[in-house]
Structure 1
Amino acid sequence: MVLFELCVDSVKGLEECIEQGVGRIELCSCLTLGGLTPSAGLICCVLDIVQSRIPVHVLIRPRPGDFVYTSDELAVMIRDIRMAAQLGVAGVVIGALMPDGSVDEISTRQLLDVAIEEGLQTVVFHRAFDMCADLKSALKQIMRLGIKRILTSGGCQSAVEGDDVISDLVKQSCGDVIIMAGGGVSPCNVGSILATTRVTEIHGSAQRNINSLVMYRRPGVSLESNATATTPELSQQYQQKAVSIDVVKGILDAIRAHERRTII
């Protein structure tokens, strides 16, 4: 049976997604930046909605950008892991790299040890994996650390582009690590990804654009540090994203259709 993990950065539509059959939640903030560590308030609100029906994993990523972390940043991540565990999440999603594109085993081990010490059920290595110089070597490093699940697009922009690589990683892991495919997953391509890769877990955010309710938009002012918009209408400050129930349902329907074909 294929599990669909939904990545969310808000509570919008969460209850309906669970009712549709989502098997697990990865919780973060700022999905437009690739995902950052969520606030304690957001974690609590999501856990209140989920009510232990499915596991909730929390992303531990203190800033956007690369995955090479300083000792100060690691200290923040360690505190975030402890906080998430104390709030009641099932697992955390981590990852740290060396400047040469290999897995930072020392830093990752520190984070993993804290998660284990806090009694967390699951630790996942996130898509920092896709930034590694050699994915096969990176998989060996992660297996050596004892982490049992990796989220990957096969080192490509999307899982459908990296499906052959993901398939090779599944074979290399020999079932000792769960390879979870993610990146650009949609109702149209999830069946193909499953057929090619033989993964048993799929990850996606299933997002849609939402127009801001703000009617007055002050000309020439934006809180975005890298804003390039010349008019308020083009600024991301007036755009939001949220999970699309229709896309979630479409992905789940495609997964079930794939499972029926496989059984036959």
Structure 2
Amino acid sequence: MATGAAVALELAVQDVAGIEVAASVGALRVELCTALGATGGVTPGPGLLAAAVERAAAPPSGAAVEVHVLVRPRPGGFVLAAGELDVQVREVAAAVQAGAHGVVVGALAPSGEVDAAALRELVAAADGAEVTFHRAFDVLADPLAALDVLAAAGVTRVLTSGGAARCADGLELLRACAEHAHGPLGGAVQVMAGGGVRVEDVPALRATGVDAVHLSAKRTVSDDGGPGGGGDSGYEVTDLHVAAAAAAALQR
């Protein structure tokens, strides 16, 4: 990223209200998913996707936002079991056909490297829509070499915490990835910092040279569902104040 260039804001959201928050604070795009806190995020259903695409195109306030859909049918690791690639290819195609601007995917080989063959199929299924490679990237042994693989496969961007549990602890690798992406790769792949991001982390993340910052800005609403509804665990929503503070920090 060129010095002084704008850093985009992406919010991970789980409902239509989250879309409205993203639009109101000026986020460029959202990653639409469900069960974020419990699983790290899985694929949203078709009803939520359709409603999100509609609301994102004409939000009550702010400009339209892009909807990028997480395609991850289950929690757990990123080596695909038999039949899972076929499911993901179908879900990628369905998301794009429903109007999503892009998809968020990831697949690893048993060796611990990017599953390049699976990734090519997923990119092909996206049919020209943007493809983000998710935080499966953060378990790779050689992330810089992986950036070359992603660029060759036609991936638009990578979401990474710099290999740490939280972005604030992965600044060195984030900087190295940004330099590799904008140097040897000529900007073929964007680098988006995400993972445990707090508002106070944003200035340091910007300084690494990443193209975007991704956070959930979520809080939990207490709501007791009883023994058949998950007890008193409540549910997650996108917090307007946290999202607005993150957006403001990116503009400073």
Using the size of structure 2 for normalisation, the TM-score is 0.89
Structure 2 residue 21 is matched with structure 1 residue 16 = yes
> What is the deviation of 1:4?
0.2
Correspondence for 1:227: none
2:92 aligned to which of 71, 76, 81: 81
> What is the deviation of 1:70?
2.4
1:46-57 matches, cutoff 5 A: 46-51=52-57, 53-57=64-68
**Partner Cα distance (2:155, 2:212) in 1:** 16
Residues 212 and 59 (structure 1), Cα distance of their counterparts in 2 relative to 1, 3 Å cut: same
1:81-120 matches, cutoff 5 A: 81-116=92-127, 119-120=128-129
Correspondence for 1:200: 211
Using the size of structure 1 for normalisation, the TM-score is 0.85
Correspondence for 2:190: 178
Gaps of 5+ in 1: 225-231, 258-264
Structure 2 residue 180 is matched with structure 1 residue 168 = no
| Number of equivalenced pairs | 237
> What is the deviation of 1:157?
0.6
Deviations for 1:137-165, whole angstroms, at most 9, x for unmatched residues? Answer: 21222122121211101111111110110
Correspondence for 1:42: 48
Deviations for 1:209-255, whole angstroms, at most 9, x for unmatched residues? Answer: 110054xx34xxx677xxxxxxx55xxxx321111001001101111
> What is the deviation of 1:16?
3.2
**Contact kept in structure 1, 2:166 and 2:195, CA below 8 Å:** yes
Gaps of 5+ in 2: 1-5, 59-63
Structure 1: which amino acid aligns with 2:218?
Q
**Partner Cα distance (1:157, 1:106) in 2:** 28
Residues 13 and 28 (structure 1), Cα distance of their counterparts in 2 relative to 1, 3 Å cut: closer
Correspondence for 2:166: 158
**Contact kept in structure 1, 2:89 and 2:122, CA below 8 Å:** yes
Q: Which has the larger radius of gyration?
A: 1
> What is the deviation of 1:133?
1.8
Query: In structure 2, the residue corresponding to 1:67 is in which secondary structure?
Result: coil
**Partner Cα distance (1:13, 1:104) in 2:** 32
The percent of aligned pairs where both chains have the same amino acid is: 37
**Contact kept in structure 1, 2:7 and 2:211, CA below 8 Å:** yes
Structure 2: which amino acid aligns with 1:192?
A
Query: In structure 2, the residue corresponding to 1:151 is in which secondary structure?
Result: strand
Query: In structure 2, the residue corresponding to 1:160 is in which secondary structure?
Result: helix
